[in-house]
Structure formats: C-alpha cells, structure tokens
Amino acid sequence: MTTTEPAPGDAPENEIFVDGADWEDVVDAVVDDTITVNMGPQHPSTHGVLRLVLELDGETVLRVKPVVGYLHTGIEKNAEYRTWVQGTTFFTRMDYLAPLHNELAFCLGTERLLGIEVPERAQVIRVIMTEFNRIASHLVWLATGGMELGSTTMMTAGFREREHILDLFESQSGLRMNHAYIRPGGLAIDVTDDFVQRCEALLELLPKKIVEYEDLLLRNPIWNDRLRGIGIIDAERCYALGVTGPLLRAAGVPYDLRKAQPYSGIERFDFDVPTETAGDSFARFLVRIEEMRQSMRIIRQALDVLPGGPVMVEDREIAWPSQQALGPDGIGNDPEYIRHIMGESMESLINHFKLVTQGFTVPAGQVYEAIESPRGELGYAITSTGTNKPYRVHVREPSFVNLQAADEMSTGLMVSDIVVVVASLDPVMGGVDR
Amino acid sequence: MSDGQTTNVPDAGHGLSGVAMSLEAIERQVQTRFPSLATDIAFGELTVHATPETLVDLLQYCRDDQQLSCEMLADLSGVHWPAGEHIIERQTSTTGWPEYRVSRERGVVEVLYVLRSMTRNHWFRVSVGTDDEEPRLPSVVDIYPTANFHEREVYDFFGVEFDGHPDLTRILMPDDWVGHPHRKDYPLGGVDIPYKNDKYIPPPHERNLREVIR
C-alpha cells in the first residue's frame, strides 16, 4: 500500500506512493489533502497523447499542467532539408484535422517571398477547400467532444458527415487527408468536372445535418449541464495567454484573421464572425456551430464566382505541370506534357527534372504569414536564405498556444470537467507537438 | 493575398475599435522612444532589431502604449545562424544543388517576437540576437504570459536560457535529451547506433558535425 518512508535526504516526508491498495488507505495517509494524478498520455478523453498532471484536492482540481511532446516528429527540422514543394507534404501532416490550412499558410508565406500572385481560380478553390476543411474539423470536434461526454450518437453522426467532405477532398486531391494539394504557386491539380456539383450536394446535405445536431444537443439537459459555466476564460486572459480562434470569439471578441488580414481573396465574400459573450464551453459550441454555417455561406458565394483559367502560375521556373487530369487510378497525369518532354524538347525535360529534384529557389528574407485555422491563428514564420530549401520554418500552432489556457480554465472544477475543458479547447496533438 | 497588414483596416463587420497604424508610423514611434534600435521593412513586414538589454522595455512599451496597443504576443520563434563557413548540403558535386552556406563572424541565435494589436489590427516583428555559445535572454513571461510555452520551446530547440522564466524545462523533446536539435550545429545522423559496416559510430552528441557517415 502506501509507504511513508522518506528516502534519505531528498524526498519530502509526506510523499506517498500508491501501489495497488485501497483508495481509502491512500486518502487517509495523505496529510495535506492534495493528490497529484496523471491523466494520459494514453487516455481516451485527452484527444490523443496529451498528458495532464492534475493536482487535486479531493475531486476539485487545483492545477493542471499539460505535458506535451509525445507526438513530436521534428517536422520543422525535416523541412529544412526538403525543397519548398516537398515542405507542403510535411506541414500538411501537422494539424491532421486541418491539413489544407497548414498547406495554405505555408504556401502564402512562400509566395510572398517569391513575390508571385497565384491565379484567381486557384485562390477561389483554395477558399472553398479550406472552408470545407473548417467544417470537417469542427465536425470532428463535435464528434469527439460528444463521445467524451457520452454521446456516441453525436460521434457517429459527426464522423459520418465529415466522411462526405473527405470524399470531396479525395476526389480532388487523391487523398482523404494530408493532401499536399495546395502548392507554392497554386494548386497541385485542377478540380474535376463534377466539383461544383459535388460541393452543391454537400451544401444541400450539411445544413440539414447541422439542424439535426442542434436538435440533439442544444436543449439536451446533459449537454447543457456539462458545458454551461465550465471552462470560462474572458477576453483579457485570452489576450494574455495568446488564445485565438473560437475560444476568443466565444469570449466576445469578434477577431477573425479572415476579416482582419484577408488572404486568398476571402475579403470578397460576405460572412459574419459569430461571437458569444459567456466565454464557457457552451459558448464555444455555439460559435463553432455558427462558424460551420458561415463557412457554407462563403463556399456558396465562392462557387458562384469560380472563374476559369489556370490553377498554377505560368512561370515554368516555379510551376509544377498543372494541366494534369486525375486518372481512374487517382494519380494525376498529363499525356500531352509527357509527350512534349519525352519526345519533343530536351530543354523541357531538363527543366522538369531540375524542378522535380532540385526545386526552385526562393529569395532571402523572413515572413510571418498567419491565417485563421479552425483552432485559431495558424502562423508560419519562414526564414529563407535564397536557396531551394527553407532555412527555418517555425509554426505558430493555435493548439499549442491555446493549451496553455487549460490550467486557468480548469481551476476549481471537478475532474470530470477537465474532459469538457480539454474537449472545448479542441487541441490536435499532431499540431501541438509538430 | 495579404501583401501587408496596413491596407486591411477593419471594416464595419469586424467590430474592432482602433485604426491600424502604417508600418512607417510604427517605425517612427518605436524609433522616437528607442532611438538606438534599427528597423527595416521588407516583404510588407516591419522588423525592429532590439538588443537583449532593451527587449523587455521595448515589449512593455509596445504593450502599454495607447497607439501601438500590442495586446498579444502572437508568436515567438528562434533561428540559429552559426559562425563560420557552414555547409549543410553535401550533394553539390553530384546533383548541382545550390550550396547551403552561411558565413558569419559570430554565431547568433535570433529570437523573433511577433507583436499583434487586435484592436488596431496591425502587427510587427521584434528580432533580438544572442550569442550562440551561451545564448541568454530576459524572459517576457511577465509581460506576455503566453510566452511561457514559446520560451520553453526555444530553450528546448536552441538552448536559449530565458532569465526569469518560471519553469524553463524542455517541452517537446524528452526531458533527458542531450543537445538542442534545431541548432544548425546539432549533429544529424539518426539514431544512436553502435557500429555500421565494421565502423564504430559515436552517439550524435559526440559526433563531429562535419563528419559524413556513409
């Protein structure tokens, strides 16, 4: 059971170790009434491998210390040894619920260093795809959040609708997730002929489903009791802790980088920034639900103005051959282009080979490009020294920064509320640990 | 595409109060208060080059000043610029890839702070360098609590000691890790393997960085 024998010198006298005894015996032996409990890293309610060290006074939480890094894969370091185009294939794997946002932010930064403007068609498709990605990400949040509070119906429903969006992504990029679809200079591949049709089918389906979720949860007494008044954070603390995204908007600040620093021509579209004033988990739920509706509003307008033309810059120093068509095997090919480089022009073949193996060089400089990801400000601080590889790329991950607020949001709550707080923070560990 | 933050003044739907300052106005204001600091504008972004001595005062001023009003530290990151001739790309002879050279008298770890005003909708960068032999900077956690995780990350990856940080421990790498992996002089070569092709290979932290393991 419990040992109160202090190790000579270092351990404090009242240190107690639990080794398979009655909980009551442990509690009796505790002198100062606070217990430190490890939650995670392998815990079904911590959104992946997040470890929370809880300091408890009985059931009440005094302190939460998030311990991260279990999923660190060194993507930033890896990118320093990859070309700029290869970089997108790495960054898309960071925040795996918002891969297109990661690609977009990195590409916007690279394009600013290159000083190029991507074609309008590519910009509009980027907006459509990232907004669909936002909906998909919020659906996963709703699904996993519901599951953690015992609503398995919500889980199956959320993942079901997300799958439709992933089907769209798969039909356009060949991959459900980690697409590497947005490339510096435009898009990897043009959309298929039935793209607009597919989007419209989704826009038909999703609003009905969102009403269903609201019917299920909005007046659900369990959902209300568990979420209302839990995990409160106000605007001032959001500023101090760098918290952005739905958390900041649920605290009453209508700050959205799509409005504040529009990217990819998103300022042309009419949409609202939903806010709530309560600053609790329920307010975040309402904000995210409304954000899905606003994203659909943007997509509808974007589909109306979707122009023709190329989806990649014309510059052959940068552009990957973009006239590819998606074959039945899911791989893009351009028979015309292949005939050209293999049969007609040696120089084109050389250019193609150099572009694929060596990549293009990017002028030296530093940029910080931030966009609004589903979780908040996603920033890419890119340093280039004028070579074909980034010198350093640092990612300001909203999940990583927002996680700092977990401590303040949880103080004084019960252990079971920690699950709600973490769920409403919506951290994606792939993004936190990078 | 955002080609510079100053043109995007918040519209009516945005709901924020202030008016964004132009980069030049921010530059003037900072230089009036801190005449010794150099600034530059490139790619539509303003960078203020601070020194470790002025860093805390500068950030405090930027946060509290009514005009600059930088409520949020949006990002904090490090970049390592090692001293001497440093070649990373070793395949120049075979593929013709550009060499990846950095040449400096003195090694520097550059730490970048992105300061953002949400009410006024402008932002700029503060850059501060510290010697890479013994990198040390004052912590800004007291001014911006969000710097806590960021500074731990920069410590973890670059070894910068932030004076006054409440809990300066590794954050993403394991606690017992040796070395700071994002430094350019951090030896690469993968996992700790005792030998390969009958040759003894020292563990990464004992390895000469210029040595190529084949």
pLDDT digits (tens, 9 = 90+) for A291-324: 999 999 999 999 999 888 888 888 777 886 656 6
Q: Do B146 and A111 touch (CB under 8 A)?
A: no
- Binning pLDDT at 50, 70 and 90, where does residue A1 land? very low
Average pLDDT over residues A127-137: 93
Q: Which of the two residues, A333 and B125, has the higher pLDDT score? A: B125
Instruction: Check whether B20 has a pLDDT greater than 60.
Output: yes
Listed range (A98-112, A326-340, B117-131) with the worst mean pLDDT: A326-340
Instruction: Round the average pLDDT of chain B to a whole number and report it.
Output: 77
SS (H, E, C) A28-68: HHCCCCEEEEEECCCCCCCCCCCEEEEEEECCEEEEEEEEC
Report DSSP letters for A99-140, one per residue. Answer: HHHHHHHHHHHHHHHHT----HHHHHHHHHHHHHHHHHHHHH
Q: Do A262 and B8 touch (CB under 8 A)?
A: yes
User: Would you say A334 and A323 are in contact if contact means Cβ atoms under 8 Å apart?
Assistant: yes
| Cross-strand bridge partners of residue B86 | B102
Q: How far apart are the first and last CA of chain B?
A: 45
**CA neighbours closer than 13 Å in the CB half-sphere of residue A126:** 31
What pLDDT is attached to residue B87?
55
What pLDDT is attached to residue B65?
84
Q: How far is CA A146 from CA A71, A141, A158, A165, A426, in A?
A: 24, 8, 9, 20, 12
Other Cβ atoms within 10 Å of B189 Cβ, number: 15
What pLDDT is attached to residue A378?
92
What pLDDT is attached to residue B15?
46
* Closest residue in A to B11 (Cα–Cα): A259
Listed range (A9-18, A285-294, A328-337) with the worst mean pLDDT: A9-18
> What is the identity of the amino acid at A194?
D
What pLDDT is attached to residue A32?
65
- Binning pLDDT at 50, 70 and 90, where does residue B8 land? very low
Instruction: Check whether B3 has a pLDDT greater than 60.
Output: no
Q: Do B125 and A264 touch (CB under 8 A)?
A: no
Classify residue A342 as exposed, middle or buried by CB count within 10 Å of its CB (0-12, 13-18, 19+). exposed
- Binning pLDDT at 50, 70 and 90, where does residue B4 land? very low
> What is the identity of the amino acid at B12?
A
CA angle centred on B204, ends B199 and B209, rounded to 5°: 90
Average pLDDT over residues A385-393: 86
Closest CA to A423 of A162, A101, A155, A236: A155
Among the partner residues A241, A267, A369, nearest to B146 by beta-carbon distance: A241
* Cα separation, A366 vs A368, whole angstroms: 7
Percent with pLDDT over 90 in chain A: 28
Size of interface A-B (CB pairs under 8 A): 144
| Cross-strand bridge partners of residue B76 | B113
SS3 B154: helix
Instruction: Check whether B97 has a pLDDT greater than 60.
Output: no
**CA neighbours closer than 13 Å in the CB half-sphere of residue B171:** 24
| Cross-strand bridge partners of residue A55 | A36, A63
Residue A432: which H helix or E strand, with range?
helix A429-433
Q: Where do we find the tokens 């890790």?
A: B177
Each residue's pLDDT tens digit, B129-170 = 898 888 999 999 988 999 999 999 999 999 999 998 888 888
Q: Tokens representing A104?
A: 């977009």
- Binning pLDDT at 50, 70 and 90, where does residue A15 land? low
Peptide bond into A307 cis (omega under 30): no
What pLDDT is attached to residue A162?
92
Q: How far is CA A321 from CA A172, A199, A312, B128, B205, in A?
A: 16, 25, 8, 41, 43
Q: Which of the two residues, B155 and A332, has the higher pLDDT score? A: B155
- Binning pLDDT at 50, 70 and 90, where does residue B5 land? very low
Phi, psi of A54 (to 5 degrees): -100, 135
B156 to chain A nearest CA, in Å? Answer: 11
Percent with pLDDT over 90 in chain B: 19
Instruction: Check whether B19 has a pLDDT greater than 80.
Output: no
Q: Which of the two residues, B139 and B99, has the higher pLDDT score? A: B139
Percent with pLDDT over 70 in chain A: 89
What pLDDT is attached to residue B98?
42
Taking a contact as any Cβ pair under 8 Å apart, which residues of chain B between 142 and 181 contact chain A? 144-146, 148-150, 170-174, 181
What pLDDT is attached to residue B17?
59
Q: Do A68 and B172 touch (CB under 8 A)?
A: yes
* Contact residues on chain A for B144, CB-CB shorter than 8 A: 240, 242
Among the partner residues A80, A239, A261, nearest to B72 by beta-carbon distance: A239
Listed range (A56-60, A372-376, B93-97) with the worst mean pLDDT: B93-97
User: Which phi-psi region, left, alpha or beta, contains residue A180 (left: φ > 0; alpha: ψ -120 to 50)?
Assistant: left
Q: Tokens representing A314?
A: 């014309």
| Cross-strand bridge partners of residue B108 | B81, B131
Taking a contact as any Cβ pair under 8 Å apart, which residues of chain B between 92 and 131 contact chain A? 95-100, 102, 112, 114, 118, 121, 123, 125
Average pLDDT over residues B62-80: 87
| Biggest CA-to-CA distance, chain B | 71
Average pLDDT over residues A272-284: 88
What pLDDT is attached to residue B95?
42
Top residue of A68, A76, A401 to mutate, by most chain B CBs within 10 Å, is A401
* Cα separation, B166 vs B153, whole angstroms: 14
- Binning pLDDT at 50, 70 and 90, where does residue A13 land? low
User: Would you say B132 and B80 are in contact if contact means Cβ atoms under 8 Å apart?
Assistant: yes
* Cα separation, A130 vs A98, whole angstroms: 8
* Cα separation, A240 vs A208, whole angstroms: 38
* Cα separation, A167 vs A163, whole angstroms: 6
**CA neighbours closer than 13 Å in the CB half-sphere of residue B32:** 10
* Cα separation, A80 vs B78, whole angstroms: 14
What pLDDT is attached to residue B1?
35
What pLDDT is attached to residue B7?
33
Q: Which of the two residues, B105 and A255, has the higher pLDDT score? A: A255
Instruction: Round the average pLDDT of chain A to a whole number and report it.
Output: 85
Report DSSP letters for A212-262, one per residue. Answer: HHHHHHTT-HHHHHHHTTSS---HHHHHHHT--THHHHHTT----HHHHS-
Listed range (A83-92, A333-342, B18-27, B96-105) with the worst mean pLDDT: B96-105
B205 touches chain A (CB under 8 A): no
| Cross-strand bridge partners of residue A188 | none
Instruction: Check whether A347 has a pLDDT greater than 50.
Output: yes
What pLDDT is attached to residue A151?
82
* Cα separation, B195 vs B212, whole angstroms: 14
* Cα separation, B15 vs A188, whole angstroms: 37
Q: Do B13 and A394 touch (CB under 8 A)?
A: no
A29 contacts: CB under 8 Å, gap ≥ 6 = A2, A4, A16
B33 to chain A nearest CA, in Å? Answer: 24
* Cα separation, A209 vs A293, whole angstroms: 11
What pLDDT is attached to residue B183?
86
What pLDDT is attached to residue B13?
37
User: Would you say A378 and A95 are in contact if contact means Cβ atoms under 8 Å apart?
Assistant: yes
What pLDDT is attached to residue A290?
92
CA-based radius of gyration for chain A: 24
Q: Tokens representing A335?
A: 């028979």
| pTM, two decimal places | 0.85
Q: Tokens representing B105?
A: 């008298």
Average pLDDT over residues A85-99: 90
